[in-house]
Structure 1
Amino acid sequence: MITSLLRQISAPDTAKQFAALAAGAPASAPLSLRLDLSVPPSDWLHLLPTGQPWWYRARPEHGEFRLGIGHALHVESAGSNRFAALDGAFAGFRRDWRRNGPALAFSGFAFADDNASPLPNALLAIPAILLECRDGACSVTLSTPAGRLVQALAEWPSWLAHTAPREMADLRPGRPQALADRAWMARVVAALRDIGSGRLDKVVLTRCRRVERDTPFAPAAILAALDVQQPGSVVYAYGNGRQTFLGATPERLVRKAGRQIHVDALAGTAWPGSPALADDKNRHEQSLVIRAVVDALAPWCDGLPQVGQPEEHPAGVLRHWRSRISGIGHADGSLFDLVRALHPTPAVGGFPSAAARDWLAAHDERRHGWYSGGFGLLTADGDGEFSVALRSALLDGNTAELQAGAGIVAGSDPQQELAETEAKLGTLLAALNPDRQIARSSRQA
């Protein structure tokens, strides 16, 4: 497959088609050339690169897999205007974008606008090489600024020649967590006290677990495991050449297709051995999320957003309540306008949103990478979809920081909330340990 791909990228006709796109274009104008590939369907994980930034987004249940390698153009931002900055930059890219077919950009952002981590707080990038498989058909889209066309054609083959290893080994035995568990449950008690006093209705508290192995983690092996484990979720990743942020999320933040807007209201969790998903606590959590999403979305819609009936939504061994909310957006509203209006939903922050954010800041809530932020795919027409970045791990060499959260509302039981986060962490732990020996490590942790 690599040989066929390299031959197509290096073909004289590819250079000719690019020259036609570039004719008269400003040096900064993005050029994108889409080529159909006569190759079997693939998840592309064997082509994860070393030394280049990369993006991965898959919907395994739908046979949809995308891998972006390198950055043709990118922009970073942080602070209270981060979404507006990405929106403006992407509008500039789109204005001069020359392409012979569909072309895409990726984006990711952290939960808080001042989050400090190895990743940019907010990032948008047009990948230099985009490999796609959808509905059994595969393609490659090559992108570069017009002024770098000659250099790009020379660079791309070498990027595909250096791929990351896929070998994995067992996790090291975990360290005792009893003290950290008690501290986390004490935070739950503090949250319940403030909920009882009326300061807020819900707050989402997260737990972090650090795991190690003797050799560096292999993102390709972990993503392959997640594709199998959670085919109905969005499996996602971003790698910067050293760290990798990856996970599998069941929750859509927002999708925009023309003026059609679709949002998931997702809350409440059940797992084998847990209380029923239909209990009062889970239904109350779900109602708070629906209320907040409708209130946030309404100013951007013509008419009141429509709320679908709650349904059980599987995510591996976990199940959640999900209600689909839809609306007709204003003609002048952008995808980033909707992201700014909706993030953070009560599913990852709390309710009311401002009170929950203040509570989390006052209690030193820390979230790694882009956990509970967003991961998005955008079209050259300005449409696209963002998912909430859940069930995630931040990989750095032979260490991984896993994070999971639980929504605390009136009636929450600290021990049960701890068990919920354990169940969520378990989905990533299982993917990190390919030899199914995770049960032993979990007991030792």
Structure 2
Amino acid sequence: MNYKKIKLNLENPLSFWSHFSGEERFYWYDRQKEQLIIGAERLCAVKNQTNEYPYLFHTQSFFEGEMRAPWQNMGGETLAFKHYYVKTSHESLYLTCTEPVTIEPKKVLEVTHSLTQKEDDFEDWARLFNQIQESFKAGESQKIVASREIDFTSSQDFCIESILHKLSKNNPNCFIFAYQKGEKTFLGASPEVLVQKADDEILSYALAGTISKTEINAAERLLNDPKNQFEHHIVIDKIKAQLLKKTSQVTVEETGLMELKNVYHLRTLLHAKDHSTSLTEWGVHLHPTPALGGEPSDYALNFLRHHEHHERGLYAAPLGIIDGQGNGTLVVGIRSALIEGKTLRAYVGCGIVPYSDVRDEFNETKVKLKTILEAL
């Protein structure tokens, strides 16, 4: 596929997003590489990775099989687009395989949304928490990651451009993403790399263990907390074991802290060498880590499918960018929300282990929810 390269430097890159209102489109901002990619107008779904397209946008559902409401026909594909806007530290380009369009510059919008929360869901959370604890007592699992779906309505349609602008401004250590199909938009600010590929270099994050930055001596407490260390090492051990199924060359760094706007996380980087496995194959192989599902994985997934009352859809599932050489990054779609018209469903979760406290874990999800609420 032949893509024309046109120099285009937009003061507000969201002008490109706005131009294709109503079209299928994605937004991807890698803060680590300072790389922004926007794709618009679906060209095709790609079954096998190819160098025919400059970038592919990949999404994978959390559970296998057909997604339930409100996620029907949303994601689970690897897509090429007709138009791309690419901005890095050294270039700013418009790529298109069809007739170029004229992008009119627009100013950055900052909209304050008036929100109404549907209902308090603590009783549902407590029910799920107690069911998880029963599974621990029965010796069926070590850890299960529970999630909440919190419904909000707005007095006006949600302004996606404003939300993306604020997510980018508020979350310097995160990957900012959005995917719009039809009337629905899934967006968020994820701190967690499931897998990153640079030729034969493979990287994955073990990211589990959380404390609010409002706590006294929060960083030190998190590094020395037995409950969070136990939860974190379940994730390290599983990712390492999964990497070793594909390659014998795996190294594990020392555990440290990841600082976000509202929380600290425990983070351990795992590296591997591999020549033969594609990025999307790695995504399928590693998903879900115990940071998103639980351990043992099969039991946790079956438990969540039957006991969580909402459909996860693309929440906590792999999504990201693949370039023409097959390199790229897949994050997990956390700190996220699904928007349709005046309705927003925010998704947050946390890992439950035998030492967990129901109210503490609920409060942790409330802190994580701030990522979305502060962008509204």
TM score, norm. by length of structure 2: 0.91
Asked if 1:325 corresponds to 2:294, the answer is: no
Matches within 5 A, 1:19-98: 30-37=1-8, 39=9, 42=11, 44-48=13-17, 49-60=20-31, 62-75=33-46, 89-91=47-49, 93-94=50-51, 97=52
**For the aligned residues, what is the CA RMSD?**
2.2
Instruction: Give the 3 Å change call, closer, same or farther, for CA 345–207 of structure 1 in structure 2.
Output: same
CA displacement, residues 199-240 of structure 1 (integer Å, 9 cap, x when unaligned): 000001101111111111011100110111101100000011
* 1:172 pairs with one of 96, 99, 115: 115
Residue of structure 1 equivalent to 2:341: 397
Q: Which has the larger radius of gyration?
A: 1
CA displacement, residues 363-419 of structure 1 (integer Å, 9 cap, x when unaligned): 145334411111110112222210011100101011100010010001000000000
Q: CA deviation at 1:166?
A: 4.3
* 1:209 pairs with one of 150, 155, 160: 150
TM score, norm. by length of structure 1: 0.78
Q: For 2:111 and 2:73, how far apart are their aligned partners in 1?
A: 24
Counterpart AA for 2:186: F
The answer for unaligned runs of 5 or more in structure 1 is: 1-29, 76-88, 144-151, 433-445
Residue of structure 2 equivalent to 1:379: 323
* DSSP 3-state at the match of 1:157: coil
Q: CA deviation at 1:57?
A: 0.7
Q: Which has the higher contact order (CA 8 A, sep 6+)?
A: 2
Q: CA deviation at 1:430?
A: 1.1
Asked if 1:106 corresponds to 2:106, the answer is: no
Q: Is the 8 A contact 1:368 1:394 kept in 2?
A: no
Instruction: Give the 3 Å change call, closer, same or farther, for CA 337–175 of structure 1 in structure 2.
Output: closer
* DSSP 3-state at the match of 2:356: coil
Aligned length: 366
Over the matched positions of the two proteins, sequence identity in percent amounts to 25
Counterpart AA for 1:334: S
* DSSP 3-state at the match of 2:48: helix
Q: For 1:171 and 1:208, how far apart are their aligned partners in 2?
A: 19
Instruction: Give the 3 Å change call, closer, same or farther, for CA 165–368 of structure 1 in structure 2.
Output: farther
Q: For 1:417 and 1:390, how far apart are their aligned partners in 2?
A: 16
Asked if 1:135 corresponds to 2:86, the answer is: no
Residue of structure 2 equivalent to 1:291: 237
* DSSP 3-state at the match of 1:31: coil
Q: CA deviation at 1:360?
A: 1.1
The answer for unaligned runs of 5 or more in structure 2 is: none
Q: Is the 8 A contact 1:72 1:128 kept in 2?
A: yes
CA displacement, residues 86-121 of structure 1 (integer Å, 9 cap, x when unaligned): xxx233x54xx2x7xxx1111112211222314434
Q: Is the 8 A contact 2:29 2:35 kept in 1?
A: yes
Residue of structure 1 equivalent to 2:279: 335
Residue of structure 2 equivalent to 1:306: 251
Q: CA deviation at 1:241?
A: 3.6
